[in-house]
Amino acid sequence: MAMRRNILHSIFLLPLMAVSALPQRPPTVAEAQAFMNRAEAELLRLGIAGQRAEWVAETYITDDTQLLTAAANEQIIKRTTELVNEGRKFESLPLPPDLKRKFLLLKLSLSMPAPNNPKLREELTQVSSSLGADYGKGKYCPADEKPKCYGIDDLEEKMAKLRDPKKLQDMWAGWQKVGAPMKDRYARFAELSNAGAKELGFADTGVLWRSNYDMPPEAFSAEMERLWTQVEPLYKELHAYTRRQLVKKYGAAAERKDGMIPAHLLGNMWAQEWGNIYDMVAPPSAPATYDLTQILQSRKKSPKEVVQYGEGFFKSLGFPALPASFWEKSQFTRPADRDVVCHASAWDIDTQDDVRLKVCIHDTADDFLTVHHELGHIFYYLSYKKLPPMFQGGANDGFHEAIGDSIALSITPEYLKKIGLIEQVPPPAADLPLLLKQALDKIAFLPFGLMIDKWRWEVFSGQVKPAGYNRSWWQLREKYQGVAPPVDRTEADFDPGAKYHIPSNTPYARYFLAAVYQFQFYRAMCREAGYKGPLNRCSVFGSAAAGRKLQAMLAMGQSKPWPEALKAMTGEDRADAAAMVEYFQPLLDWLKQQNKGEKIGWTPAADPLKAR
């Protein structure tokens, strides 16, 4: 056999060399179009198969479903990488704008780029799948409740209500243990993903991610910091006020000389949203208002009914009803017989009408808002389904996250009265407590939304090594959030892994951008609806004019650079947090009055892992 291979080689070598020496005919625009047509069709087929496998993997966690979704993802990554490399020969052609944009989007389509080497690619997809499964199977088992264990959705509900600082600390520390076993695999994941990004022509995976915003990566980093600078004064006033109220409630358990807030006392596992502690920080003289969680629970609203409220809002704007299959195939509650990933997510299975919601709904105000957020994704999917596959996406990923939240801003007392959830609209004097409650979620979220990807960008670039993962994580959290771990942390811990978006490799800058965009979208819809009063009192429920404005932008999908989509909706082509500041201006004025004589800000530790 060895001799036969040598003979065949000698037979074909000279003709091959002769052919390669011939001048190569340059490719044509027609060939580029034909290539893209084939690529879109093939990736659509693979994408649908991958979505189905991923759906099963997240709603029925087993070793087998992990392997199936890893295999499907490997095929998508493999073929996408091949197509990107094949398409490079068309890059120098003067392509029509739409076709040129498709080639750009193809190149940027992988949030998890993989090496061309089949073994390394398979390893990457399996590592990625195992990280996501570890998070989904994660449990905290309190020592005093054995054998009772809690998944993260149950823990979030408990943390929202618990007011015992010691139990909160135990719960916080118990959940963080989910991340520790992931650390080495995450380091390998970053290494392999970077190798794939470099083969595509990017310095690392973080650079690839930041290239997705119709501007140079370094300009995008600066843009994020610019937006943060606009809202940082409001955050610091909110932080100072909240800190003082927590010290009043918890005493020594909340008080720190450095001015930071212990992360376990803010009503949320990651201290990313603080609305759950509103009862402890509410203005003492505020007029009585409503408790949406209590209303939903007293009326025994089912998970399906909660989702129907969200659908009803979009229908009031002129959107069509959700497909029947949505109600048949979605997951609204945690099944009793198996592990699932309960983190809320919206799914576009076939890029047409098979859209689904995966969530474990509890009858809380948070979940009421979450449903509106996730349905924003669903109606975005349905709005751009007629576009070519490469344009079926948000103008950027921040747009996708902002749509439902811009609708949720219209969940005002007037809206709740219209749909029968409250009987009386609170007086204008109640606006301040409502604004405070919103700020505890939306403003408190901003620094967390910023630092997640700043951490990953530094990991991907190599600026942060595996030996410093946890230290860097807490340095950023202390710098931007002003929160500190309630118990000592070490590099044996991997606290990033206890946040879903890290093991699931979901880029996070989108959420920060969405927090800004939603107020721009909302203000534009309010203006279109003819609203003239204070921005925070506007609800566009039932406004066909606002709905047409929104639908026109959603139907553009990803076919144009995002500044064009933003301008179509708002008349502005630059992200601007001014609408957010305008919305919360009455609260900012009040906070400044409350904080007179109070230290504004905090002093991050030189080394957050050293015992203090």
DSSP class of residue 24 equals: P
DSSP class of residue 124 equals: H
Count of Cβ atoms closer than 10 Å to residue 285 Cβ = 8
For residue 593, count CB atoms less than 10 angstroms from its CB and return exposed for 0-12, middle for 13-18, buried for 19 or more: exposed
CA dist 584 → 58, 432, 528 (Å): 38, 9, 21
Q: How far is CA 48 from the centre of its chain?
A: 21
Contact assessment for residue 96 and residue 29, using Cβ atoms and an 8 Å cutoff = yes
**Cα 135 from Cα 501, distance rounded (Å):** 10
Contacts for 81-89: CB closer than 8 Å, 24+ residues apart: 81/110, 81/113, 81/114, 81/116, 81/121, 81/196, 81/199, 81/200, 82/116, 83/39, 83/42, 83/43, 84/200, 85/116, 85/199, 86/35, 87/32, 87/35, 87/36, 87/39, 89/27
Residue with tokens 């704008």: 97
CA dist 531 → 202, 342, 430, 517 (Å): 46, 38, 20, 19
Count of Cβ atoms closer than 10 Å to residue 297 Cβ = 13
Residue 92 C-beta-side C-alpha neighbours within 13 Å: 3
Instruction: Kindly state the tokens that stand for 167.
Output: 């139990």
Helix residue spans in 162-216 (DSSP H):
165-176, 183-199, 205-210
Contact assessment for residue 574 and residue 517, using Cβ atoms and an 8 Å cutoff = no
Residue 364 backbone zone (phi > 0: left; psi -120 to 50: alpha; other: beta): beta
Q: Cβ contacts of residue 154 below 8 Å, gap of 6+? A: none
DSSP conformation letters of 59-81: HS--HHHHHHHHHHHHHHHHHHH
**Cα 156 from Cα 161, distance rounded (Å):** 9
Spot the catalytic one: 40, 123, 374, 528.
374
Let me know if 501 is a catalytic residue: yes
Spot the catalytic one: 232, 305, 414, 501.
501
- Give the E-state strand segments of 178-306 in sequence order: 261-262
Contact assessment for residue 355 and residue 322, using Cβ atoms and an 8 Å cutoff = yes
Of residues 189, 208, 191, the one with CA closest to residue 84: 208
Q: Which residues are catalytic?
A: 374, 501
